[in-house]
């Protein structure tokens, strides 16, 4: 009963925080221009006030808490910009209500919010370089020794790569993101990511949908042992080991260096995008291999796992502990 009351109270809080407004402050925008970041368009004025968030103001002249960078998922945005793109408004609102300021909270939108374009997005050089530069800019601008990163959905695997750095070959070219940033990241949270791919991408989807491709997409592999085209089945009929899946994800997961001092994974068993109880060939695809802890929800949808968990995100960022659910 108590949990139901708390849940209803949080729903009221969610609605109240739907009016969080950006974009990046004038101070941060001026700094970006002075330091050569203008071409990356971190402001995203095409979404008016909702394309970005963060920066110092006259009332918040410096960062005291470890700055937090929020990285959204496929077809989402930095802040709430529509019925399907809720952004990080709830999380930023919660952090603001619990002692953080705009000088300590940052987000920028990548690509667009059109769900019809979701199947076209991959882990490409354009997005990875831009998001990597955003992390570097926040570190330099705030002067903080470390930042924390909270990510959701496809933002999880993008965040992991920009922290790990290194080279990449993608449809839009080859690039090098530079040296790892993991020593400068205090907490990394991955919410409902697809670290081992998506079962909906097995079979013909790998050829038909760009986001499912076998190189830098979310292909989970089509077989494991004698199991074939049933990667969401749990338990599997036959023993399963040594799955070959997306080259990008395999490279990401084979790097055993932690993304941060503390790494946490979160997901829901009722996720309506990942489906199959989050299982991919017998393992939870939202579990980051280097995780120090995990939080598993039972009733949240894919977007609710981000929207309704601000308090848990805050606890992990602030206290470095996993909440009980």
Question: Would you state the pLDDT for residue 8?
Answer: 36
- Its CATH class, for the domain covering 2-196+246-319, is alpha beta
Is the CB of residue 216 less than 8 Å from the CB of residue 240?
Answer: no
Task: Render pLDDT for 47-100 as a digit per residue (tens, 0 to 9).
Answer: 999 999 999 999 888 889 999 999 999 999 999 999 889 999 999 999 999 999
- pLDDT, tens digit (0-9, with 9 covering 90-100), for 266-290: 999 999 999 999 999 999 999 999 9
pLDDT tens, residue by residue, 24-42: 999 999 999 999 999 999 9
Mean pLDDT for 134-154 is: 98
Residue 10, pLDDT score = 43
| Cα 111 to Cα 133: distance, rounded to the nearest angstrom | 15
Average of per-residue pLDDT across 237-263: 96
Q: What confidence tens digit (pLDDT) does each residue in 5-20 have?
A: 333 334 444 444 558 9
In sequence order, the β-bridge partners of residue 108 are: 52
> How many helices (DSSP H) and strands (DSSP E) are in the chain?
9, 13
Give the angle 236-240-244 at the CA atoms, nearest 5°: 120
Identify the pLDDT of residue 4: 35
What does the alpha-carbon distance between residue 281 and residue 194 come to, in Å, rounded to a whole number? 13
Averaged pLDDT for residues 237-248? 94
State how far the alpha carbon of 189 is from the alpha carbons of 64, 186, 222, 278, 290, in Å.
Answer: 20, 10, 28, 17, 11
Contacts of 304 (CB under 8 A, 6+ apart): 268
Helix or strand (DSSP H, E) at 149: strand 147-152
Q: Hey, what's the torsion of the CAs at 218, 106, 109, 250, to 10 degrees?
A: -10
Tokens of 196: 């081992």
pLDDT of residue 293: 98
Average pLDDT, the chain: 93
Contact of 121 with 128, CB cutoff 8 Å: no
* Cα 318 to Cα 280: distance, rounded to the nearest angstrom: 31
DSSP single-letter state for residue 323: P
- pLDDT, residue 16, reads 44
pTM for this structure?
Answer: 0.94
CA-closest candidate to residue 94, choices 18, 26, 30: 18
Give residue 17's pLDDT. 52
pLDDT at 224: 96
Q: What's the pLDDT at 18? A: 55
User: Which tens digits make up the pLDDT trace of 172-183?
Assistant: 999 999 999 999
């Amino acid at each position: 009963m108590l949990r139901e009351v708390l849940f209803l109270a949080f729903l009221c809080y969610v609605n109240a925080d739907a009016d969080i407004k950006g974009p990046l402050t004038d101070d941060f925008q001026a700094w970006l221009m002075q330091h050569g970041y203008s071409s990356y368009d971190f402001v995203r004025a095409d979404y008016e006030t909702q394309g970005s968030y963060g920066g110092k103001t006259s009332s918040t002249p410096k960062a005291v808490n470890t700055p937090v960078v929020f990285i959204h998922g496929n077809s989402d945005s930095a802040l709430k910009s529509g019925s399907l793109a809720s952004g990080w408004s709830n999380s930023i609102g919660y952090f603001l209500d619990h002692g953080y300021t705009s000088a300590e909270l940052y987000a920028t939108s990548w690509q667009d919010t059109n769900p019809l374009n979701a199947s076209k997005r991959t882990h490409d050089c354009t997005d990875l370089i831009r998001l990597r530069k955003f992390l570097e800019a926040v570190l330099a601008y705030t002067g903080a020794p470390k930042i924390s990163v909270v990510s959701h959905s496809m933002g999880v695997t993008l965040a992991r790569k920009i922290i790990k750095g290194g080279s990449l070959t993608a449809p839009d070219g080859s690039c090098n993101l530079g040296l790892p940033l993991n020593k400068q990241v205090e907490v990394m949270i991955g919410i409902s990511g697809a670290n081992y791919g998506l079962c909906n991408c097995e079979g013909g989807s790998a050829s038909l949908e760009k986001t499912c491709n076998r190189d830098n997409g979310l292909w989970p592999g089509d077989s494991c042992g004698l199991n074939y085209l049933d990667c969401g089945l749990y338990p599997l009929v036959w023993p399963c080991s040594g799955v070959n899946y997306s080259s990008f994800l395999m490279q990401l997961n084979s790097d055993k260096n932690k993304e941060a001092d503390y790494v946490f994974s979160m997901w829901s068993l009722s996720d309506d995008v990942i489906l199959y109880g989050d299982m991919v060939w017998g393992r939870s695809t939202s579990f980051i291999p280097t995780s120090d802890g995990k939080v598993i929800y039972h009733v949240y949808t894919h977007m609710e796992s981000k929207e309704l968990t601000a308090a848990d995100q805050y606890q992990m960022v602030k206290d470095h502990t996993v909440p009980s659910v």
